[in-house]
Amino acid sequence: MESAFRAERAEAHAAGRWSLLARLWVATALDIARHAPREHVAILARDLRFAGRLMAARPAHTAAAVLTLALGIGANVAMFAVVDAVLIAPLPYASPERLVSIAETEAGIDPGNIGYLTFTNLRDRSRSFESMVAVGSSTATIAGSGHDPERVNAMRASRAYFEMLGVGPVLGRAFVEAEDKPGAARRVAILADTLWRRRFGADPGIIGRPIDIGGIPYVVVGVLPASFDDLIAGRMYDGAERCSTRFRRSIRRHSAPPRCSC
């Protein structure tokens, strides 16, 4: 076919018959479109049958090759997932590029938590930040509600915590200014969606009711959305359920992603 095409093309070109040359190209293209797919499919089928026979004849080599490919692909997928989560994907919060985390450092010591008085001093004197909040890790033992006492991971957070992250409760409200001050007013809690559904049966009437946390009554003022993903709390607790309670005393100040839920 190729030699016939070359001969006809040379003849048309020598005779200066450009219309014949154009028709030759069109006819050749149509012929290739009609026959080439079938020929390539047939070649592919023969190659697959041949490869299948080779793999069946050498199962050990086949298993080693498949395992090597699986490990290589799995490692690449895992590495990309980590790079995407850490470097590429934006944090799931409002204006994540404006969030920062502050820690206290000393010579020869890794950055660590700052005291609450240091936090309040920074918050009152800072002119570089629009808002500052304090959060810290804790645990809480929840009792009552017809269930056995249960220890859950908790987060302590100051008032503007959820506001800074751009997250609002799906039920109830967030913390308010009065609950940042010492006294009984700060004994309020916001529950994570998972704990609310599991321990309290997704009861919307939980808002305004007291629950027993460590032998002290805390009033539930809100429930977080199921979609809220707190990366700081996830790092602290490895995905465990959380309970955020209202304490003026905080251990660490974060303007970055944390998850306060119970």
- Alpha helices of 58-115 — where are they, by DSSP H? 59-83
Task: Judge if 129 and 242 occupy the same domain.
Answer: yes
- Among 87, 120, 136, the domain-final residue is 87
Task: Judge if 199 and 81 occupy the same domain.
Answer: no
Q: Could you tell me the CA-to-CA distances from 143 to 180, 212, 214 in Å, in that order?
A: 25, 5, 8
pLDDT at 248 over 60: no
- Among 40, 68, 87, the domain-final residue is 87
How confident is the model over 43-99, as pLDDT tens digits?
888 999 998 898 889 889 889 999 999 999 999 999 988 888 767 777 777 777 788
Q: How confident is the model at residue 14 (pLDDT cuts 50, 70, 90)?
A: low
Find all residues with CB under 8 Å of 246, minimum gap 6, and list them. 156, 157, 175, 179, 180, 186, 187, 188, 189, 218
For the whole model, what pTM was predicted? 0.59
How confident is the model over 157-206, as pLDDT tens digits?
888 888 888 888 999 999 998 888 777 778 899 999 999 998 999 999 99
Task: Judge if 122 and 156 occupy the same domain.
Answer: yes
- Residue type, position 26, single letter: V
What total of structural domains would you count in the chain? 2
Task: Judge if 249 and 123 occupy the same domain.
Answer: yes
Task: Judge if 65 and 187 occupy the same domain.
Answer: no
pLDDT at 136: 79
Helix (H) or strand (E) holding 211: strand 210-213
Q: How confident is the model at residue 38 (pLDDT cuts 50, 70, 90)?
A: confident
How confident is the model over 211-237, as pLDDT tens digits?
999 889 999 999 999 888 776 666 555
Give the range of the structural domain holding residue 73, as residue numbers without chain letter: 2-87
Task: Judge if 76 and 137 occupy the same domain.
Answer: no
- Among 43, 70, 87, the domain-final residue is 87
pLDDT at 29: 75
Helix (H) or strand (E) holding 253: strand 252-253
